[in-house]
Structure 1
């Protein structure tokens, strides 16, 4: 299967490699069709207590597509992925049955990632219909999970209206969720959904951006995740000096059961995240709470979950007793070394506890180094170590990846 996948992947790459230089020569002219490609190689290593084997996942994703220019307000995008295993089959990709290994949710596949039609009759109105990657705000509630080799996309219709400067309103309706596990997985596609997404952004100068939202998810294939969530978020910054800025974010949401969910609950979400940026260094502290009542907990099933509550991915589903994540984050823009410019490093620490029952789940230490080798190629090293106490097991993860954008 992988050989069959890899051949079309390389054929697509070769075709695009030949096409792109010709496009660049006429970059000043509007092009009817613009092709592009995004190739990512990743090595992922996992050691997880409680499983007899360690995981080694070496995977390659070739993503290629094209965009059209606008014609009478209409434009389109079509994008496909080919994901292949490159190396030994020493990991559980969720469909290969290798349950003795830790999970690396990157199964081999060839699939349509996005295909949508956009209509933009005026700059204040935009409508998009089709399979699309949807990312709202910090992706805590709705995101495309760009970390994994296969995106999470929605078959949806969306409308965005900007009635005045600094104000935008979004409404979306989605009937299908194409999850990262791929169509061969029993949990890879959620069908026949009734998903409504309402969101409004207001630039409240000089305080920051205020976002109000309502996400109504009726998910027949995941009834325990069916919910309605209404919330408000504030994010902003204040200049302290020529090099220093005060950063802040705060968010509150209220979640209740909806539709096919057999349980009754009423749960809160709370985030407070102050920070400071001083030259090349940014320091943040955070307190995030997802409430649980011992039976049900606040869930965010359409989020980019890898970006929250630790890169070890121990809390992709909120435990029934809830989750309180106290964390610190330090990010540094590194000085140029020869031709290498724009490198950055990041260090995070998390302390996890329950919101009910006084449980100390554990802690996590994480580090990342991203190095842009040139304007097309970026290398990334990433590490996470979860130390378990009252939840899950000790887990160590290491990643090396190369991202090439053409």
Structure 2
């Protein structure tokens, strides 16, 4: 609330002097999500509508932004993670009305500083992200500085004192509306001829006893290379390599150490896109929450869309995956049309046991300012969890 008041005051102070630099913010999303999960007596059917609206005022490198969001369940036949009995599968989109962003920003050629409630998405969002797939998403109460001292070199440093979660204002228990702590995200990158080389240190302080008894607090240090090469004739190869080491941090009572590995490549050729990779979130001794955890990442982007591994299993996880897609500039009134299929094979890192397989399908297109998508995920369990099938129909509109 203090952030909102301060930002509104800044907007008022800007006043008519910068009326020509006032920008309205508006976006909306309508989604139907259907989930079938073995072991539960009923399916989930969630129809949710999310609206965000706000304003941004800018003047001479300074800007102030306030944005609110609301999510309503038009069909609430689902367990939202907070209310009622879990007799249906969970869909993590509880009804909510809240302040989404409230920030002040100064921007110049070498320096950008942002203070207040804001979105932070670092690299591929594996460690720090916005969780944009969820209707309430995730934001951070933080001060962030982005410094470019020389061409190709960038330092990105954030201090975060509160993580505003996807659970909204009615969050409770282990699913708090906000998780306080002294979080530090440090990211130093340099552009080389073969790609951007990044060293990072992420100190995650989940300083809430209700949130797994502090067991999600960790320190991760690593390096990442991400780049792309064009070969003519419409051929392009994109690739990324990443490694990190994680251990307990601050009040975490666990004493553990685990590794992270990623190798990923994608080849584009005349509308076709073929990709594949191998990701490992390692284990320590096989105890709960002693494997590599990423509680602040955009986890939906990784390890399949069925969302079976939002918390890394005690024995870790290895994900071997491949994807194939094709895109068109237009099909009738639809623009930027694409189809994509992906396959995942999951195993434990420790003891190498087969968890299960997953197939993901996606079709997207744009109709004016509205993005249309149909998504499907099918997880077939072997030695972990249960068979789960999900279907999404989604419309996204932005001003």
**TM-score (structure 1 length as normaliser):** 0.90
Q: Deviations over 1:155-174 (max 9, x none)?
A: 00011100111111011000
Gaps of 5+ in 2: 1-17
Match of 1:188 in 2: 176
CA distance in 1, matches of 2:102, 2:112: 16
1:108 partnered with 2:95:
yes
Candidates 237, 257, 269, aligned match of 2:248: 257
Which deviates the most, 182-191 or 394-403?
A: 182-191
Instruction: Answer whether contact 1:91 1:98 (CA < 8 A) is retained.
Output: no
CA distance in 1, matches of 2:333, 2:178: 46
Candidates 70, 78, 99, aligned match of 1:82: 70
Q: 1:342 to 1:191 in 2, by over 3 A?
A: closer
Which deviates the most, 77-86 or 189-198?
A: 189-198
Match of 2:336 in 1: 342
Q: Deviations over 1:230-273 (max 9, x none)?
A: 01111112222321122211000010111111011111000011
CA distance in 1, matches of 2:390, 2:246: 32
Match of 1:16 in 2: none
Misfit runs of 4+, over 6 Å = none
Deviation at 1:98, TM superposition (A): 3.3
Q: Deviations over 1:319-345 (max 9, x none)?
A: 000000000022221252223221111
User: 1:133-172 residue pairs with structure 2 within 5 A?
Assistant: 133-172=119-158
Candidates 306, 315, 326, aligned match of 1:312: 306
1:387 partnered with 2:380:
yes
CA distance in 1, matches of 2:237, 2:179: 44
CA distance in 1, matches of 2:245, 2:185: 15
Which structure features the higher share of strand residues? 2
Q: Deviations over 1:269-328 (max 9, x none)?
A: 000112211121111110000001201100001000100001000000000000000000
Instruction: Answer whether contact 2:64 2:105 (CA < 8 A) is retained.
Output: yes
Instruction: Answer whether contact 2:25 2:67 (CA < 8 A) is retained.
Output: no
CA distance in 2, matches of 1:54, 1:192: 34
Q: Deviations over 1:158-191 (max 9, x none)?
A: 1110011111101100010110011211113344
CA distance in 1, matches of 2:50, 2:397: 10
Candidates 296, 306, 312, aligned match of 1:302: 296
Deviation at 1:228, TM superposition (A): 0.4
Instruction: Answer whether contact 1:230 1:254 (CA < 8 A) is retained.
Output: yes
1:48 partnered with 2:37:
yes
User: 1:123-272 residue pairs with structure 2 within 5 A?
Assistant: 123-186=109-172, 187-205=175-193, 207-221=194-208, 222=211, 223-272=214-263
Instruction: Answer whether contact 1:176 1:189 (CA < 8 A) is retained.
Output: no
CA distance in 1, matches of 2:310, 2:343: 17
Give me the CA root mean square deviation. Answer: 1.3
Match of 2:389 in 1: 396
CA distance in 2, matches of 1:43, 1:275: 30
CA distance in 2, matches of 1:177, 1:333: 36
Aligned length: 373
Secondary structure of the corresponding residue to residue 395 of structure 2: strand
**TM-score (structure 2 length as normaliser):** 0.91
Instruction: Answer whether contact 2:375 2:391 (CA < 8 A) is retained.
Output: yes
Candidates 60, 64, 67, aligned match of 2:53: 64
Deviation at 1:371, TM superposition (A): 1.4
Gaps of 5+ in 1: 1-28
Deviation at 1:38, TM superposition (A): 0.4
Instruction: Answer whether contact 2:97 2:169 (CA < 8 A) is retained.
Output: no
Instruction: Answer whether contact 1:275 1:283 (CA < 8 A) is retained.
Output: yes
Instruction: Answer whether contact 2:361 2:376 (CA < 8 A) is retained.
Output: yes
Instruction: Answer whether contact 1:133 1:151 (CA < 8 A) is retained.
Output: no
